[in-house]
């Protein structure tokens, strides 16, 4: 079963982190070449408990605590992947991926290409990003644009437990390399996840709320926030369609364009700083491929172009809040 749609049968309500844990457990049971490494993931089960209990089941060869040496253990993941393994490497915070950028951008991303297609890097780099609660400038970034920009990487940013599980399973089976960015505020989020084995294909987006007036494109933690905003404006008679691409590379352009052709009004919401962001690229794709359908300029609500401050009130000003999204919806719908 490799569908894109949300699976509802035999569903239980579980947390995002539990869904990720199930994905890892199932894939490790299925395929002995899948192994995990990262900081504090074994005994401790990871900072967000995503890998809890896996050491007990799979043992220390396949669930490894690494030294604090991001460049080399990410590179070791690449080397293991090239030679027949399917490593899932965890980087505690996406901010720390900057220490491993050579291995990600120059080695993993380009290996298949440089070897004329002879090599494969079936590695998943799991990491976690976004603003939390006062974690300050080096633990709060949304760096997806970096990976989005480098050809050769796939990029997954799930917003729900169901998506997180199905996408992680697909990412592990993919010939990669896949950057899989979770959101620190979503680990405790709950959602329905079927008991059945399922995959969600990379490159298949999902309409999280059907609507007719405005297409709102968002991913990761901006999805629940945008859904809340959509509910808030529903009372004013603005019917918002929330499209979650789920994977930014490959991007489900067709799903986005289909929605745009229907609503003729577009808002893109991203937590990352506005400058050089994925939202701008999505907006440019839409204006290039669906300009004739647009009834209003595309709006972007994005993070401010700033390092994230520690102070909670200042922090909250730096990424789109529900009220920012509400106002932007009104603007794009011509209701201001």
Partner 1 sequence: MTGAAYSRELVLGFYRTMFTIRTFETRCIGLYRQGLIRGYFHPYLGQEAIAAGVCAALREGDYITSTHRGHGHCIARGGDLKRMVAELFGRATGYCAGRGGSMHIAHITAGNLGANGIVGGGIPLGVGAALGAKIRGADSVTVVFCSDGASNNGVFAESLNLAAAWDLPLILMIENNQYAVSTPIEQAAREPDLYKRGAGYGVDSRLIDGNDVFEVHRCTLEAIETCRAGRGPVLIEAKTYRHLGHHVNDPGHYMPQERLNYYKARDPLTTCKTFLLKEGLAAEEDVQALEAEVQREIEEAVEFARASPQPSVEEFLAEVETY
Which residues are identified as catalytic? 70, 139
Distance of closest approach, residue 194 Cβ to partner 1, in angstroms: 31
203 or 273: CB nearest partner 1: 203
DSSP 52: T
What's the distance, CA 60 to chain centroid? 28
- Listed as own residue / partner, the contacts of 141-144 with beta carbons closer than 8 Å and 24 or more positions apart are 141/94, 141/95, 141/272, 141/308, 142/94, 142/220, 142/270, 142/271, 142/272, 142/273, 142/303, 142/319, 143/94, 143/95, 143/97, 143/98, 143/181, 143/272, 144/179, 144/181, 144/248, 144/272, 144/278
How many CB atoms are closer than 10 A to CB 77? 32
Could you tell me which of 331, 59, 12, 41 has the C-alpha nearest to residue 192?
Answer: 12
Distance of closest approach, residue 274 Cβ to partner 1, in angstroms: 25
Output the six-digit token pair for 209: 């709320």
Which residues of this chain interact with partner 1, rule CB under 8 A? 33, 35, 61-62, 64, 66-67, 69, 71-85, 87, 102-103, 106-107, 111, 113-119, 151-152
Distance of closest approach, residue 173 Cβ to partner 1, in angstroms: 17
Helix H segments across 153-221?
161-173
CB 164 within 8 A of CB 336: no
Q: What is the DSSP string of 120-171?
A: ----EEEEEES--SS--TTS----HHHHHHSTT-EEE---SHHHHHHHHHHH
57 or 102: CB nearest partner 1: 102
Distance of closest approach, residue 116 Cβ to partner 1, in angstroms: 3
Distance of closest approach, residue 251 Cβ to partner 1, in angstroms: 12
81 or 189: CB nearest partner 1: 81
How many CB atoms are closer than 10 A to CB 318? 18
């Amino acid at each position: 079963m490799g569908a894109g749609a949300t699976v509802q049968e035999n569903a239980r309500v579980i947390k995002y982190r539990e869904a990720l844990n199930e994905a890892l457990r199932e894939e490790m049971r299925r395929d002995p070449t899948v192994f995990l490494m990262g900081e504090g993931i074994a005994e401790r089960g990871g900072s967000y408990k995503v890998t809890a209990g896996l050491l007990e089941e799979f043992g220390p060869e396949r669930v490894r605590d690494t030294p604090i040496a991001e460049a080399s253990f990410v590179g070791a993941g690449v080397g293991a992947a090239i030679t027949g393994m399917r490593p899932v490497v965890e980087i505690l915070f996406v901010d720390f991926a900057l220490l491993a950028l050579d291995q990600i951008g120059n080695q993993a991303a380009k290996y298949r290409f440089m070897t004329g297609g002879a090599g494969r890097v079936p590695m998943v780099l799991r990491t976690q990003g976004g603003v939390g609660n006062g974690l300050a400038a080096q633990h709060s970034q949304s760096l997806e644009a970096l990976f989005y920009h480098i050809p050769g990487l796939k990029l997954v940013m799930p917003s729900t437990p169901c998506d997180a599980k199905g996408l992680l399973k697909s990412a592990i089976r993919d010939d990669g390399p896949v950057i899989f960015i979770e959101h620190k505020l979503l680990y405790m989020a709950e959602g329905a996840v079927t008991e059945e084995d399922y995959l969600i294909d990379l490159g298949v987006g999902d309409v999280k709320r059907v609507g007719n007036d405005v297409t709102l494109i968002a991913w990761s933690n901006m999805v629940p926030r945008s859904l809340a905003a959509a509910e808030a404006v529903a009372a004013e008679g603005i019917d918002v369609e929330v499209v979650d691409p789920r994977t930014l590379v490959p991007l489900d352009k067709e799903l986005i364009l289909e929605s745009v052709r229907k609503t003729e009004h577009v808002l893109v919401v991203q937590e990352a700083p506005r400058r050089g962001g994925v939202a701008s690229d999505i907006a440019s794709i839409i204006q290039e491929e669906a300009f004739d359908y647009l009834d209003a300029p595309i709006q972007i609500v994005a993070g401010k172009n700033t390092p994230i401050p520690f102070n909670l009130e200042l922090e909250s000003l730096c990424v789109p809040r529900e009220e920012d999204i509400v106002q932007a919806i009104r603007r794009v719908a011509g209701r201001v």
